[in-house]
Chains A and B, each alone.
Chain A
Amino acid sequence: MNPSAHALRWTWLLMGLGVATVMLGTAAGSQGWQAWWLSAGDAVAQQIVFDIRLPRSLGAWLGGCLLGLAGAVAQGLFRNPLADPYLLGSASGASLGVGSYLSVFGGSAWTTTWWMGLGLTGSAFVGAVLAVLLTLLLARGVQQTLRLLLAGVVVGVVLGAVTSMMSLLQPQVLQAMQGFMLGSTAFVSWSACVTMALVLAVGLVLAWLFARVLDALTLGEATAQSLGMPLRWARMVLVGVISLATGAAVSHIGLVAFVGLAAPHLVRTLLRSTHAWHVCLSALMGGALLALADVMARVLFAPQELPVGVLTAVLGGAYLLWRVYRGSGGAR
């Protein structure tokens, strides 16, 4: 079988898994498993399925897709298997955005400025994108990968420190911040799903278009350059894809750990393919992973719901440890 047919088969398979999990998600209720088709006549039951469970299950899948896509692009662009979507400082930027929003508007004080209309979601997104821009500024553009990586780390640490400082000065922010940092799909609405779907579509198309550059980059920067690849443009566009995808995901579902890191690795253990397929498959894998984790988070300890970020960290961490263990065993 030729490689792309193989990849196509996996695409259908992962897509099927995603759809199945989202469907499963509509039956995972606050009291454990609840088959919705048994109470089809009840208006409240219908509202619960269509306006709560379906958007949040779909949102989990879309958010996972965005993180998987961003992770695969980041790993390809930085030629580093440890790269994850939060590499360029978007996570700490989003936290800072949420923190500043909460400390200005948190509690009983309220105002009706335009910033208020932005909401938690908007301020997280703005924070994430501004942090990436700051990273780009520090690295003086996208041309030097190492400098970009370093700038991302520095921005992450500095913004993280500012956020800690802020929550020290205003401890009432701390609790709400923690809720955001653990990640949750509980508040995803239909409009959030539409936003994430749009960003995902744009991101996938751009990543697909520039995937050949990622393929060439695996041979080294000099080789890619000599092959006549539009490196400069590709870097700019792909960094844009990473930051937009991550910002959209983080602002709607919070800081969900490990999906972006683990999804591309999982795909790599399944099959070797060109980057064009790799980014698509990673996105689908991320979606399936997060949708599955979301269903588990809801039913494992029902009616108590686990923050989905905690679950992905445990699952993803276990998976990575296992990979590292297997890898070191194989080298021996």
Chain B
Amino acid sequence: MRDALRGLVLLVCGLVLQAHALTVQGDGPQKVEIVQAPQRIVSLLPSLTETVCALGACQRLVGLDRYSNWPESLKALPRVGGGLDPNIESIVALKPDLVLAAGSTRGVERLEALGLKVLRLEPRTHADVQRVLRTVAQALFLPEADSERVWREIQAGVQAAVQSLSPQARQQKVYFEVSPTPYGASASSFIGETLTRMGVGNILSASLGPFPQVNPEFVVRAQPDVIMAGDSSRASMVQRPGWAALRAIQAQRMCVFQPGDADMLVRAGPRMAEGARLMAECLNRAAGASQGAGR
């Protein structure tokens, strides 16, 4: 009798768990089945770390990749390598019940073979940010309203940045340099999408692919009104042949972003509104400078 009762209890528990189990579709080929709300999460991509925290589940993270640096409160968490060299052993030792990884992260198959649940997500565009917010909220057993609310806040932030632009600032053409090789951000990149939404021009068209390598001569020919770049480009930019003739450089209509700010700009994550605000400030400043020069 007791055994039968115990069996019944187990059966009911099983049914309840079954009812709570859900499958989540990441960027990987297979759906990931999650039985219980994950409480020990390892994130291997900064934008995914930021997404988890934006959803208010920061305290569930137990391990991070070495590039995750926001929010500050995560500083003390153990680091488990980067996307290229995740330390399989450290990850397993943390006993995570969910691992968030980029599609390009190496060793994901290895982690899955070792019995870990891995959800692959790699946000690259504005639309991806929304999709990833939804998927992560779903995987964490958070109500859909949470992800919708966070997304609305982000949208409002971006919209505010767009509206803060002066009419002159909107008239400008931008060259955004991602790395001093030089690689630029075209209209199809995450940064380019923000610029498009602001209504400003981008000298690199979408057809070039998201981050094309740029011939320095092309930039001279295109004569951007504003140049935005990371800190690493500052020194080499002025020395490039012909670039001294660029009006943007002559009039100092350049915005060089500090490493922390650049992270915010290039990561397709919940901080995209702040990134948009930085770009808007830069555009307004540049427009003001050109007016001052014209006067």
Contact = CB atoms under 8 A, between A and B. Distances in A.
B89 A108 contact: no
A30 B90 contact: yes
B107 interface: yes
Contacts of A175: 83-84, 104
Interface of B: prevailing SS: loop
A108 B93 CA distance: 28
A53 B114 CA distance: 12
A51 B87 contact: no
Given A51-B114, A184-B85, A119 B29 contact: no
B89 A52 contact: yes
Interface string A106-136: 1110101000100110000000000000000
A146 interface: no
Interface stretch (A164-172, A238-246, A312-320): A164-172
Contact of B104 (A31, A47, A172, A186): A172
Contacts of B115: 47
Given A107-B104, A110-B27, A305 B92 contact: no
Nearest to B122: A108
B124 A107 contact: yes
B237 to A, nearest CB: 19
Contacts of A186: 85-88, 107
A178 interface: yes
A332 to B, nearest CB: 45
A119 B29 CA distance: 13
A184 B89 CA distance: 14
Contact of B103 (A52, A106, A168, A179): A106
A30 B80 CA distance: 9
Interface in B75-111: 79, 81, 83-90, 92-93, 95, 103-104, 106-107, 109-110
Nearest to A192: B110
Interface string A32-53: 0000000000001101100111
Contacts of A106: 103-104
A152 to B, nearest CB: 29
A112 B106 contact: no
A170 B209 contact: yes
Contacts of A29: 89
A303 B29 contact: no
Contacts of B128: 108
Given A44-B93, A116-B29, A303 B87 contact: yes
B211 interface: yes
Interface in A146-192: 168-172, 175-176, 178-179, 184, 186-187, 189
Contacts of B86: 186
Interface in B101-142: 103-104, 106-107, 109-110, 113-115, 121-122, 124, 128
A116 to B, nearest CB: 7
The residue in A51, A53, A106 that gathers the most chain B C-beta atoms within 10 A of its C-beta is A51
Contacts of B85: 179, 184, 186, 305, 307
Contacts of B92: 44, 47-48, 52
B3 to A, nearest CB: 28
Contacts of A44: 92-93, 95
B110 A189 contact: yes
Contact of B84 (A120, A170, A176): A176
A63 B121 CA distance: 32
Interface string A65-101: 0000000000000000000000000000000000000
B136 to A, nearest CB: 15
Interface string A185-204: 01101000000000000000
A21 B170 CA distance: 65
Contact of B93 (A30, A51, A170): A30
Contacts of A187: 88, 106-107, 109-110
B64 to A, nearest CB: 13
A327 B275 CA distance: 60
27 contacts: A31-B90, A45-B93, A48-B93, A52-B88, A106-B104, A107-B104, A108-B128, A110-B29, A112-B29, A116-B29, A168-B213, A169-B209, A171-B211, A172-B211, A175-B84, A176-B84, A176-B104, A179-B84, A186-B86, A186-B87, A187-B106, A187-B109, A189-B113, A303-B79, A303-B87, A305-B85, A305-B87
Give the top 8 A-B pairs by smallest Cβ distance, nearest first: A179-B84, A30-B90, A30-B89, A108-B27, A108-B122, A187-B107, A187-B110, A108-B103
Interface of B: 27-29, 79, 81, 83-90, 92-93, 95, 103-104, 106-107, 109-110, 113-115, 121-122, 124, 128, 183, 209-211, 213
